[in-house]
Structure 1
């Protein structure tokens, strides 16, 4: 059955999320973002060119319902074949504008399936796609080329529940329907070392362009939740991503990996690892693959990570990461707020990173730059491949209940250069020494910040005139007991 009907417009952000999110947004943190609303629709113009903020298609000339292909949606019947038949039908419509697959209310149990180009997957309110828990139904795929033998195990890896490769113009959206990986069994087997292959993400799109995910909930992924890999023009907007904050290992929220021109905005993420982790390959494999992550805008988020960090860069960053803006983000009840992590052997670079208007609420450590994150795919990495960390700025950093506001742990081989702090006032819960920790870092503080910066940084007044220049860039003052 096909209909030439326009796709419905996206609902407003606040009306598309469930009660818990609305309460958190309004009562706890929402006011932080109100002033920013005038630029939410600006797309990627911050980087000086058109990008994923534009409307991707607006409508599809053909619409289908999953029930037209035999879908049942009772949470028990295997609907895999129905999804495959529907997507096969849409794949034949690319030259005619593509098609939309509507998933009505119900529980749609399925094994992994592949998307096609010029397709919209639309999840109605109370529609939930459920991943089959039997790992034998999840296909095995080759390791990612920029990761070498495998992320958790050598050899093949499990594919994602919803997968796509070499695609163009793909939209996953709806009226806040859900995609549920039912990852509990995966997490248990991982902890018990019963899996022989790397777990699969919930949604993974590879080598593709013009991808939009909006107005849905992603939850309980077996592994990373949304993993765009070597993609261009990716938008994630008005998405809720959930997993237990403990006991759900490696359930990162969004991991742009060797991606270019990415916007992530207006999302709520609470997961068992990094809420967002920007990556670009692992050690010698990422260096050879050579695809950086760049031109990434992250804004208007509320995130939580009790195990890792709200927004991370790395540690797999061997292809390089540059031109990243993180603004108007609240990190609450987290182990770390924002973090850059790397190590000897990574190579690559992290440069031109801007953090602006961040709020930390109950974070153990606020800002972390770590250069000894020694996890490697194998022992053949180049011990002379030193990453470059430079041109990183923090402006408008505020919060309360933070134990250590800043920990920048550079090293002689990997110094951190040209770091700038301006307009920072973070209420601390630990008032002994070492509250602002630095080693092998060079940079400056403009104006007055609280707490007082470490001696490694130059001090400038508000007009950026030098007040005191540091002679101690290599002073080590790191205390991981704090």
Structure 2
């Protein structure tokens, strides 16, 4: 009888546990053999208790078994306040759909780290930078995903300090993965980063998929996704509202980026929706001194944004932006549809070489529609260093009745072109003379690659997690 009661009680406990635990499927580059929950290491999801030690302890323990089939840490429902912590290889951080990771607003919870060698200094101020909320360096096979769980950087206090010039070091990012291979960041909501939200840097084989990124549109440098000196990256199905560029493609700053010499190349962007009243949907630069090559963007929707595609560079940047391909782009209420600028003259210091002129060539835009656009194109190269090989085809821009800038009472200007060379076909309003039709009366399409990048051939596996 006693044995029966023990079994009965244990059975009730198991039933109670199973009534809460559910097996959830998710997609990842690799599944994991070992699993743990943050609460196993003292985590408290009350929104007040600092959980940095719990995250670090959980990851340290999982590191002991990660080589044996991989490990995953589950962040369960709750609000999990934390400072900066580092990830490991062969590891998945899974954030439950009802879980919120809250970034601490205390500077001391973010260790100071050296500037990136391709930048030479912090971007906000000269000196060091705060480690990102979630970081990883020299990793192989790392996944940050969830059931659309949330990472909230609580950036308000950082934005105020930055605007008041009260920061001595550069603000932290939400996620930064550096010098790593096989990186996946997917199916998450990210809010209110102190600065950039997602920053893979010096990485290869990066997958970014299904992110919702939201920050106030009036706060500085809250870029959405910034692939930086990365090779083989795909970005899919993301929705971004930002106070800066939704996607900013980068590769180092002036003499430091030239010396480091690591380009961003083979980047594919599909099904992006962006709202950014003061910045670009997709920006190439301004830090592009390691080079940017082979960027493919398609099926893009821009709403109430400053510009569709923007190239930002200047004398001193060196390197190149070339082989850029964009198609199937819809724009609603924009200041510029196309914007290229060779005078983006922010420099890390006085050590840059003004004779290091960038090469901008083979830029292709096709199959695009814009409505309520103030300026169709503002294309300004560098005197003595023109931007060449620009091609625009099958593009219709419906101009706004007046400029989006209320401080300017002048009429809308369709095109402004200097120091550029290229061609156009079936473009309305008619482009400037520097983009004359190559074959008047004939339909000519700008190039778009027909091959697929290696990263596009990566198939995700279906994995399970008990949450």
Q: Is the 8 A contact 1:6 1:61 kept in 2?
A: no
Indicate the SS of the match to 1:442.
strand
Deviates more, 1:450-459 or 1:272-281: 450-459
- Residue in structure 2 matching 1:245, options 213, 217, 235: 217
Call closer, same or farther: CA 1:95–1:278 in 2, change over 3 Å.
same
Indicate the SS of the match to 2:428.
coil
Q: How does 1:338-357 map onto structure 2 within 5 Å?
A: 338-357=309-328
Q: How does 1:371-450 map onto structure 2 within 5 Å?
A: 371-430=342-401, 432=411, 434-446=413-425, 448-450=426-428
Partner residue, 2:263: 292
Partner residue, 1:190: 162
Partner residue, 1:138: 110
Aligned equivalents of 1:98, 1:288: Cα separation in 2: 37
Structure 1 residue 157 corresponds to structure 2 residue 134: no
- Residue in structure 2 matching 1:88, options 53, 60, 85: 60
TM-aligned CA deviation for residue 384 of structure 1? 0.3
Structure 1 residue 457 corresponds to structure 2 residue 442: no
In structure 1, stretches of 5+ residues that fail to align are: 12-54, 466-482
- Residue in structure 1 matching 2:298, options 317, 327, 332: 327
Question: Cα deviations across residues 216-258 of structure 1 (Å, max 9, x unaligned)?
Answer: 0111000111110100011110110110011x21010000000
In structure 2, stretches of 5+ residues that fail to align are: 1-20, 403-410, 445-467
Aligned equivalents of 1:438, 1:6: Cα separation in 2: 59
Cα-Cα RMSD? 1.7
TM-aligned CA deviation for residue 430 of structure 1? 4.4
Q: Which has the higher contact order (CA 8 A, sep 6+)?
A: 2
Indicate the SS of the match to 1:95.
coil
Q: How does 1:32-43 map onto structure 2 within 5 Å?
A: none
Partner residue, 2:10: none
Partner residue, 2:253: 282
Aligned equivalents of 1:433, 1:186: Cα separation in 2: 37
Partner residue, 2:457: none
Indicate the SS of the match to 1:452.
coil
Aligned equivalents of 1:355, 1:424: Cα separation in 2: 12
Call closer, same or farther: CA 1:56–1:462 in 2, change over 3 Å.
farther
Q: Tell me the number of residue pairs that the alignment of Structure 1 and Structure 2 aligns.
A: 416
Aligned equivalents of 2:121, 2:46: Cα separation in 1: 39
Q: TM-score, normalised by structure 1?
A: 0.84
Aligned equivalents of 1:7, 1:60: Cα separation in 2: 14
